[in-house]
A and B are shown apart, each in its own frame.
Chain A
């Protein structure tokens, strides 16, 4: 892997974050509605006086042209300043970094579950010969992508927390409080992984080299695990950035159901109180996590796939 390849990929990651920030800035500031009024209350600030509005406009720079506001925010951002929460006055950076470790732990366990479940179902159905059982397994992903994540959460809560008392119903402490919310993130993601992996395994198994291996006497398990598995995994690896990003968004649902602290709770609270700087901070962090995951995938895929290694060294 050449230095140029790595540098280009890192530059791409930075570009993604900048673009996400810009898109969200444009959306948040171009939509109809006066941010000063928005800040003054749930009624849209209808009862606010002109003086109050002017004071807020001057304080937050809303009276400046949009380009000036944007550049101003961008310069502050480069020095690590995400601004202050409009409802509590605390720095957005502090709010986000306090909440992040909880959600990172949640998403990490969720990703582990999702990959294990998603690939497991496909591998199992490729090996099972009982027809009805195989059909059941292959129909699971289609059902999995259609079930609302919050329903999964509530069912887990109902059966495993309230009836069987296996897991705590709420809280942020310890591994046992992590498992159910991680499953809420994992189940929809595992269905997506199973769909992609299933299709990719099927097309890999129809490659000529699989015929060659079969002709040389390799058994089914040897063909799947020794030959097809790694190649079939590549399309799954390629979408990991999107899957991890979606987990950080869905954390809002999982953390709400299980009353956990984290970035999702911060987002829900910020949206409810129309706290735009915090909203922007969370979006930027999630875009950053997407960019980092994609970067890691780009740097790691040459390790899995020799063909990607060729691309990495020549370009």
Chain B
């Protein structure tokens, strides 16, 4: 065994996130070029765009009714007419998946907005003001880690009448910590940089330094973070809906569809596995996009 073996081994580890992805480009300092994303990225982006279109205008993609039962069609296996099969009431599963996109994306989007607004603000204040306020904010943010997102969501559902809103708020709260930490780190990094010193020396006010220099430089890592969180939120929302804490029964929701297929696990695998696979594909796609957005210059 030679040193080259180990070199090869670790290089392989670094690059291959997607099986079959083309060799990433490297520029001189070994960073992966951001100009040419691999085909995996484009597939992921296309999937997310399609799901987004489902959420915005479901009737463009399917003319069937997601709610009304069609008893003659019950429990049909996937076919040309019903690509995702039908459920125990004869409703087309693909139609329900298409119509279910809106509830999931809305809830995840709202959670992202809450986490983004509060997290950015807290991180900005902690990094800029510093001192005891920084300590207090970051301690509180650390403490949020003690209650897992799914548990916080369930606790909030117990206290509120609107389960969907409760889940979004809980996930938003759970997501604050990560964003505040990234924001604070980039504020500290930018604040100690030469060009900020230069801006300050020519008399720029700290508010204008904040808006012109600190914020734009923090957007990269924050963007990667929120896309990752978006995917994780979708998983938790699906779990909540699977546990029965989502939209009430006739409305289609991905997690609830999987739940209602539990009883028919042995006779109708498509009732559970196809909506669940849909969730996995969407989460995988957002993770792939987040990976692309991540700044590659970090020291590893």
| A interface residues (Cβ-Cβ under 8 A, vs B) | 16-17, 19-20, 23-24, 27-29, 31-33, 38, 44, 125-127, 129, 131-132, 134-136, 138-139, 142-143, 145-151, 154-155, 157-158, 162, 198-199, 201-203, 205-206, 214-215, 219-220, 223, 241-242, 245-246, 248-250, 252-253, 256-257, 267-268, 270-272, 274-276, 279-280, 282-283, 286-287, 290-291
Q: Are B16 and A276 in contact (CB under 8 A)?
A: no
Task: Provide the main secondary structure of the chain B interface.
Answer: helix
Chain A binder among B66-74, B110-118, B141-149, B180-188: B141-149
Contact of B255 among A16, A20, A129, A150 (CB under 8 A): A150
Collect the chain A residues with CB atoms within 8 Å of residue B265's CB. 154, 157-158, 162
**Per a CB cutoff under 8 Å, which of A220, A252, A279 touches B150?**
A252
Q: A33-B159, A205-B6, A276-B158 are in contact. List 4 more A-B contacts (CB 8 A).
A: A126-B10, A139-B19, A148-B242, A148-B279
Are B148's CB and A248's CB within 8 A? yes
Q: Is the CB of A202 within 8 A of B276?
A: no
The 8 Å CB contact of A135, one of B19, B272, B300, is B19
26 contacts between A and B (CB under 8 A): A16-B143, A23-B144, A28-B159, A126-B10, A129-B9, A134-B12, A134-B13, A135-B16, A135-B19, A138-B12, A139-B19, A142-B17, A143-B284, A145-B287, A147-B280, A148-B242, A151-B273, A154-B276, A198-B13, A201-B13, A252-B154, A252-B243, A253-B243, A283-B147, A286-B147, A286-B151
Smallest beta-carbon distance A135→chain B, Å:
4
For the complex, what is the distance from the CA of A280 to the CA of B239, rounded to whole Å?
A: 20
A38/B243 in contact, CB under 8 A: no
| A223 nearest CB across to chain B (Å) | 7
The number of A-B residue pairs with CB atoms under 8 Å apart is 208
Residue pair B146, A291 in contact (C-beta under 8 Å): yes
Given known A-B contacts A145-B287, A150-B242, A290-B145, A135 and B160 have beta carbons under 8 A apart: no
The answer to whether B143 touches A20 (Cβ under 8 A) is: yes
CA–CA, A286 to B258, complex, Å? Answer: 27
Q: What A residues does B173 contact at CB under 8 A?
A: 27
A148–B239 CB distance below 8 A: yes
B231, A279: Cβ atoms under 8 Å?
Answer: no
| Bound-complex Cα distance A147 to B151 (A) | 19
Interface of A is mostly: helix
* 8 Å CB interface, B264-291 against A: 265-266, 269, 272-273, 276-277, 279-280, 283-284, 287-288
- Cα–Cα, bound, A38→B161 (Å): 8
The smallest C-beta distance from B150 to any residue of chain A, in angstroms, reads 4
Query: Which of A143, A246, A271, A291 is within 8 Å of B158, CB to CB?
Result: A271
Cβ–Cβ contact A250 & B262, under 8 A: no
Q: Mark B111-155, 1 if CB is under 8 A from A, else 0.
A: 000000000000000000000000000001001111111111011
Is B29 among interface residues, defined by CB-CB distance under 8 A?
no
In the complex, which range does the number of interface residues on chain B fall in?
Answer: 35 or more
Given the complex, which residues of A lie within 8 Å of B152, measured CB to CB? 24, 27, 283
B148 and A249 form a contact (CB under 8 A): yes
CA distance A27 to B144 in the complex (A): 13
Give the residues from 80 to 110 in chain B that come closer than 8 angstroms, CB to CB, to chain A. none
Task: Tell me the bound Cα distance from A205 to B19 in angstroms.
Answer: 23
Which one of B13, B148, B276, B284 lies within 8 Å of A138 (CB-CB)? B13
Complex CA–CA separation, A147 to B156 (angstroms): 25
CB within 8 A of B272: which of A126, A151, A199? Answer: A151
B300-A158 in contact (CB<8A): no
Partner of A146, one of B13, B273, B280, B300: B280
Bound CA–CA A283/B144 (angstroms)? 12
Q: From residue A301, how far is it (CB to closest CB) to chain B in Å?
A: 17
Is A33 a contact partner of B3 (Cβ separation < 8 A)?
A: no
Q: Which residues of B contact A245 (CB under 8 A)?
A: 145-148
Closest chain A residue to B284 by CB distance?
A: A146
Q: Which of B1-21 contact A (CB under 8 A)?
A: 1, 3, 5-6, 8-10, 12-14, 16-20
Q: How many whole Å from B121's CB to the nearest CB in chain A?
A: 18
Q: Which of B12, B243, B259 interacts with A131 by CB under 8 Å?
A: B12
CB contact list, B151-192 vs A, under 8 A: 151-152, 154-161, 166, 173
Q: Is the CB of A271 within 8 A of B154?
A: yes
Q: Which residues of chain B are near A27, meaning CB under 8 Å?
A: 152, 155-156, 159, 173
Candidates A151, A199, A220; contact of B300 at CB < 8 Å: A199
A287 to B148, CA, bound (A): 8
Determine the distance from Cα of A219 to Cα of B4 in the docked complex, in whole angstroms. 11
Given A146-B280, A154-B272 in contact, is the A202-B150 Cβ separation under 8 Å?
Answer: no
Query: Which residue of chain A has the shortest Cβ distance to B259 in the bound complex?
Result: A150
The answer on a CB contact under 8 Å between B12 and A158 is no
Q: Given the complex, which residues of A lie within 8 Å of B262, measured CB to CB?
A: 154, 257
- Chain A residues with Cβ under 8 A from B242's Cβ? 148, 150, 253
Choose from B10, B280, B287 the contact partner of A202 (Cβ within 8 Å): B10
Q: Which residues of B contact A286 (CB under 8 A)?
A: 147-148, 151
Contact present for A33 and B276 (CB under 8 Å) = no
Closest to A218 in B: B1
Residue of B nearest to A18 (CB): B143
Cβ-based interface call for B214 (8 A): no
Is B233 positioned at the interface, with any CB of A under 8 Å from its CB?
no
A136 touches B276 (CB 8 A): no
B residues less than 8 Å from A267 (CB atoms): 151, 154
Contact A279 B266 (CB under 8 A): no
- Best-buried of A23, A150, A252 by chain B (most CB within 10 Å): A150
